[in-house]
Copies of this chain bind each other. A is one copy, B any other.
Amino acid sequence: MNYYQQHQSEFLEGLKTFLRIPSISTLTENKPDIRRAAEFVRDDLKAAGLSAELIEGEGNPLVYGEWLGAPGKPTILFYGHYDVQPPDPLDEWKSEPFDPTVRGSDIFARGAADDKGQVYLQMKAVEGLLKTTGRLPVNVKFLIEGEEETGGEHIEEYVLSKPPHLKADAAIICDTEMFAPELPTICTGLRGMVYGELHVRVGEQDMHSGVFGGTVANPIMAIAEILTALKDRDGHILIPGFYDRVQEPSAAEQRAWKQLPFKAESFRQNEARVLELTGEPEQGILERTWSRPTLEVHGIRGGFTGEGAKTVIPAQALAKISMRLVADQQPDEALEQLRGAIEKARPKGVKAEFKFLHGAAPSLVDPDNEYIRRCAKAMEEVFGHETVYIRSGGSIPIVGVFQQALGIPSVLAGFGLPDDNLHAPNEKFHIPNFYRGIEAIILFFGRLGA
């Protein structure tokens, strides 16, 4: 048995320690935890035998680590993030979000799959090899960030400044999911993002609905009118020009998707856990999340929502809105289109402003390169099944930045599962995939260094 096979339980304990740090990047109050998580990654990389440091800048620290003892061999850049989403709604968690708990073959905690579990398996693969053989078959760099969940763009600025030490041949990103348990998966496409807040104001202060009801606009109603003007009941986005740049997936890709073991009813019942699947009727379910853009409202706040009854017409209201974009849509253009559509839909008597929070371009990777092919082979060996190629409906902005600034492809080899409850209560990571991920990376390195 190798070191990494002998130390599985230590690796799981180490992951628990990582998961206990509530490194929520969207909340100011968790700033100290952000730093603790960054230091944890740095110190763990050092203990594994890499050199490692924090790169300090305006945002949360980046962790950079490297092992460059294989001259003439390829250099692989690992990317991941140590920050996590807020855990609310707290009362729906079965165990505490920052008290990692094993139930069955899963470990439950905020960040278990997104992305601490997957960052940590990268780190443990490298540690496993170094402790077993004293060296690695390839050169390795780590760039682990702490602003992925806020859409913070400091890592992008940093990479776009092209620091010489980031030079690499390919990136590996473990922040996506497998299409099904036991089915090794490489992701070739990601949706982009425009995220912001719609602020609507009617007047200076809240009003009594008896005194003013019938004569003044209502900001919640105004948001309702704007939202329904932006999207129809079948999920079609009504923003003029919005679909103009949307590319259909290739015929080959569409055929491959049809071969995937996908059952809409199982997706509805076991993953989404919703009453009914909805969305554009003329699109398949996979196409709706992989190759079609969305417009969603993530939260809304306005007026009185406490216990009981308060007959107030609020002076203002707020909605958090995003658009997921697909190739070849452009965030800047989509933002302008959205703002134009909001202004056009704005009802009488209200001011409406869309405050942009962050954006990311969609990305589409050509799977025909040696890194993706060799990684796919390594995963096939570990999982005993041919690797499938899918897309993801999520957004990983760094993929486009690596391509643009470093000229390198990204291998999106994720080990999460579709029911891992990312961004939701009871997030989990399937523990066998934690170990298989470690092994797959080790095999991949062996093939690359041969």
Query: Is there contact, CB below 8 Å, between A210 and B191?
Result: yes
Query: Is there contact, CB below 8 Å, between A308 and B26?
Result: yes
Kindly provide the distance from the CB of A148 to the nearest chain B CB, expressed in whole angstroms. 11
Q: Mark A252-277, 1 if CB is under 8 A from B, else 0.
A: 00000000000000010001111111
Bound form: Cα–Cα A185–B55 in Å? 71
Report if A209-B350 is in contact (Cβ < 8 Å); known contacts: A279-B214, A300-B301, A309-B151: no
Q: Which of A159-167, A373-381, A420-428 contacts B (4 or more CB under 8 A)?
A: A420-428
Query: Is there contact, CB below 8 Å, between A278 and B217?
Result: yes
Q: Mark A416-436, 1 if CB is under 8 A from B, else 0.
A: 001001111110000000000
A180 lies within 8 A of chain B by Cβ: no
Kindly provide the distance from the CB of A342 to the nearest chain B CB, expressed in whole angstroms. 13
A233 lies within 8 A of chain B by Cβ: yes
Q: Mark A354-377, 1 if CB is under 8 A from B, else 0.
A: 000110000000000000000000
Q: Mark A138-163, 1 if CB is under 8 A from B, else 0.
A: 00000000000111000000000000
Q: Report B-chain residues with C-beta under 8 Å of the C-beta of A277.
A: 215-216, 349
A338 lies within 8 A of chain B by Cβ: no
A184 lies within 8 A of chain B by Cβ: no
A27 lies within 8 A of chain B by Cβ: yes
Bound form: Cα–Cα A203–B278 in Å? 12
Bound form: Cα–Cα A206–B425 in Å? 7
Report if A216-B299 is in contact (Cβ < 8 Å); known contacts: A26-B307, A27-B308: no
Query: Is there contact, CB below 8 Å, between A303 and B320?
Result: yes
Query: Is there contact, CB below 8 Å, between A310 and B233?
Result: no
Bound form: Cα–Cα A289–B177 in Å? 56
Query: Is there contact, CB below 8 Å, between A395 and B305?
Result: no
Q: Report B-chain residues with C-beta under 8 Å of the C-beta of A267.
A: 215
A322 lies within 8 A of chain B by Cβ: yes
Q: Report B-chain residues with C-beta under 8 Å of the C-beta of A279.
A: 214-216
Q: Report B-chain residues with C-beta under 8 Å of the C-beta of A86.
A: 304, 306, 310
Kindly provide the distance from the CB of A155 to the nearest chain B CB, expressed in whole angstroms. 16
Within 8 A of B (CB), among A309-348: 309-314, 317-320, 322, 324, 347-348
A72 lies within 8 A of chain B by Cβ: no
Q: Report B-chain residues with C-beta under 8 Å of the C-beta of A235.
A: 214
A388 lies within 8 A of chain B by Cβ: no
Q: Report B-chain residues with C-beta under 8 Å of the C-beta of A191.
A: 210
A221 lies within 8 A of chain B by Cβ: yes
A103 lies within 8 A of chain B by Cβ: no
Query: Is there contact, CB below 8 Å, between A297 and B220?
Result: yes
Query: Is there contact, CB below 8 Å, between A212 and B289?
Result: yes
Kindly provide the distance from the CB of A160 to the nearest chain B CB, expressed in whole angstroms. 21
Kindly provide the distance from the CB of A408 to the nearest chain B CB, expressed in whole angstroms. 23
Q: Which of A62-70, A222-230, A439-447 contacts B (4 or more CB under 8 A)?
A: A222-230
Kindly provide the distance from the CB of A204 to the nearest chain B CB, expressed in whole angstroms. 4
Partner of A303, one of B217, B297, B425: B297
Q: Mark A389-401, 1 if CB is under 8 A from B, else 0.
A: 0001111000000
Partner of A272, one of B89, B215, B224, B308: B215
Minimum-distance CB pairs A-B, first 6: A210-B394, A299-B303, A203-B274, A26-B308, A214-B288, A224-B224
Which residues on A are within 8 Å of B, measured CB to CB? 25-28, 85-86, 88-89, 92, 149-151, 177, 191, 193, 195, 201-218, 220-221, 223-225, 227-228, 231, 233, 235, 267, 271-280, 283, 285, 288-289, 292, 294, 296-314, 317-320, 322, 324, 347-351, 357-358, 392-395, 418, 421-426
28 A-B interface contacts by CB (under 8 A): A26-B306, A26-B307, A27-B308, A151-B309, A203-B274, A203-B275, A206-B424, A209-B296, A209-B324, A210-B395, A211-B393, A211-B418, A212-B272, A214-B324, A216-B272, A216-B274, A216-B278, A225-B233, A233-B348, A278-B348, A297-B303, A298-B310, A298-B312, A299-B304, A299-B310, A300-B300, A311-B322, A311-B423
